[in-house]
Structure 1
């Protein structure tokens, strides 16, 4: 079987609750679901290859010209397209971080350099990264909030990184797939000043639309964005995905309600994990990274109880004692904490 190193693998094992995939616990917006149900059953027509209506709606939501927006089949499609368009010789990623950047970079045989986040810094990105952003780096990937740590990049630092990249002709990709869960400004505000900046977002997490595969890039360099567009498959975003995404953007107050709900449940879940003797990394996203104090396969133990979580046993700068769980509904979070408490005798003294 081909390897799979992401969350959401509910197909290989019987799973009642999936805490491994960080999807909005409020579920898909009602408007998006209604749009899907209203889609015609006759799919003889190709989808709009340029996603014209969705592009217009995204541009309006972002406050940018339509020419700055490219719709893609999710964020992973965007990352791969960028790598194919640029074919960087050398690229910079951070660790712990999303493994998808490395996957895309390996398709073009790029040399991947890693900036190591430090546990003593709470896994936060600091000015130390500027020393690794050397002139020979062609492409740099950043994520805010970072996955899997949940730490956002401080706004001033992010601009210093983007400015350094611009000064040496490095393309900077900022992954904001989880930014809707945090109270932080988007890097889109920097795109006008820094044409080599590409901001990537998706409907996957924020709008609970992982199965539809739809996202977008924002970049003020039209020629660069055209190259990225040309490195993807035609008709990459299906007609149902475009319809659902367009409707999702129209649902008033959805993201505001999401942020409030996730913030309350994240605090509840973090407190419960800590009470079970686990070390929890503070997060601004819809997931929590934590460490078990002893060598114990918590993922396997919970899977026996029908719950899937994410293990980082093979992740640089983490290891087999580190795990991540999504923030889900209150009832589901209660169930997770109960099951963890049931197996906590492996690391807690009676």
Structure 2
């Protein structure tokens, strides 16, 4: 059975399972903000019609100007993209044919992009025993001969994150081995106390940081993200990017989010954190282990069981709960499920179904 490569689009999972979704199913496979979008987006929506009548600004100048102020970097250090996914593929294209290391389990697009560009891909597998985080001493043995390394912080699918000291050690080590380090911070702002690698850009030219507005601002259909790096790295990626890559509507929405989203981000992160603290002990009581997530999703595994979790996925689906399989997350290989943290009412419905599974 060929399962969907990503979360979201639950109809694709239904097709794979050859089953009908029950009415009112909840999608816990998608990692976007479960709360309503920023109110400024709704109030501005009627004015966005003009954007589709004209070619978009190919330089994304307004968006870049706003991002520059938010992230404290120069405008030459920012490259907007058609979602972070486009930027991942641009990076892989820039390092076409190179030896690439991916810290896994991780977002499958890193490997897909590198494979599509003829790269030789290697894995460093994190372990549950180490809170799904890499060990710097172990990492050192994997860097020789590599040109590029992908690290997801916070990690997808486990939601685990690194301290500033840990990030600095990783950045230092990759610099020593002359390996370009890509740190994907797509879920950073779901952390109640975000720890970003952006301050290190001042001192390390081998560092590329990815940001996404899709997840926090509930804009998966708009496709807007951006890369932060040295001017040299940005110019290299920009030379590979198609013209008008980011449409005018996405540029406007992205600008609105960056200008008005500070309190929205804070409130969302606080609400998500409250829900994690509430539901994790209950999941443990039901006989499940959860990864030490700091964001809006977590890895769920049955205690003392390394069996395929596909039967549980099917049970949840049949009860109106859509979750993300882990078949294509290396190092987990189906022995767990990625589940989003949603609203209290929705999380309660999930808990009810999981309780029925536990005691059936």
Note whether the superposition's TM-score is higher than 0.5: yes
CA distance in 2 between partners of 1:206 and 1:341 (Å): 29
Q: Identify the structure with the greater helix proportion.
A: 2
Q: Give yes or no for contact 2:185–2:209 (8 Å, CA) kept in 1.
A: yes
1:65 and 2:79 aligned:
no
After the TM superposition, which residues 1-350 of structure 1 pair with which residues of structure 2 at under 5 Å, given as runs? 4-12=4-12, 13=14, 14=21, 16-40=25-49, 43-182=52-191, 183-220=193-230, 222-251=231-260, 252-293=262-303, 294=305, 295=307, 296=309, 297-345=311-359
**TM-score of the pair, normalised by structure 1:** 0.93
Relative to 1, partners in 2 of residues 1:6 and 1:174: Cα closer, same or farther, differing over 3 Å? same
- 5+ long unaligned stretches in structure 1: none
Note closer, same or farther for the CA distance 1:158–1:70 as it changes in structure 2 (3 Å cut).
same
Q: Is the 8 A contact 2:51 2:249 kept in 1?
A: no
Q: Which moved more, 1:180-189 or 1:194-203?
A: 180-189
* Cα displacement (A) at 1:88: 4.7
Structure 1, residues 276-334: CA drift from partner, whole Å, max 9, x if none? 21111111111111102454521111111221101113433213331111011111111
User: Which residue of structure 1 aligns with residue 17 of structure 2?
Assistant: none
Contact 1:91 1:140 (8 Å CA) reproduced: yes
- CA distance in structure 2 between the aligned counterparts of 1:159 and 1:98, rounded to whole angstroms: 22
Q: In 2 relative to 1, CA 119–43 (structure 1 residues): closer, same or farther, beyond 3 Å?
A: closer
Q: CA deviation at 1:154?
A: 2.4
* Count of residue correspondences: 345
The 8 Å contact of residues 126 and 157 in structure 1, kept in 2 or not, is answered as no
Query: Are the equivalent residues in 1 in contact too, given 2:302–2:336 (CA < 8 A)?
Result: yes
Mapped partners of 1:261, 1:17: distance in 2? 19
SS at match of 2:268: helix
SS in 2 for 1:158: helix
Distance 1:42 1:154 in 2: 41
The answer to whether the 8 Å contact 2:99/2:122 transfers is: yes
Normalised TM-score (structure 2): 0.91
RMSD over aligned Cα atoms: 1.9
Q: CA deviation at 1:41?
A: 5.1
Q: CA 1:23–1:162 in 2, change beyond 3 Å: closer, same or farther?
A: same
Q: Distance in 2 between matches of 1:232 and 1:345?
A: 53
Indicate the SS of the match to 2:170: helix
- CA–CA distance in structure 2, aligned partners of residues 325 and 180 of structure 1: 18
Would the aligned equivalents of 1:74 and 1:213 in 2 still touch at CA under 8 Å? Answer: yes
Shift in CA distance, 313/83, structure 1 to aligned 2, threshold 3 Å? closer
Deviation at 1:148, TM superposition (A): 0.8
Mapped partners of 1:163, 1:135: distance in 2 = 14
The CA deviation at 1:96 is: 1.3
Alpha-carbon distance between aligned partners in 2 of 1:39 and 1:302, rounded to the nearest angstrom: 39
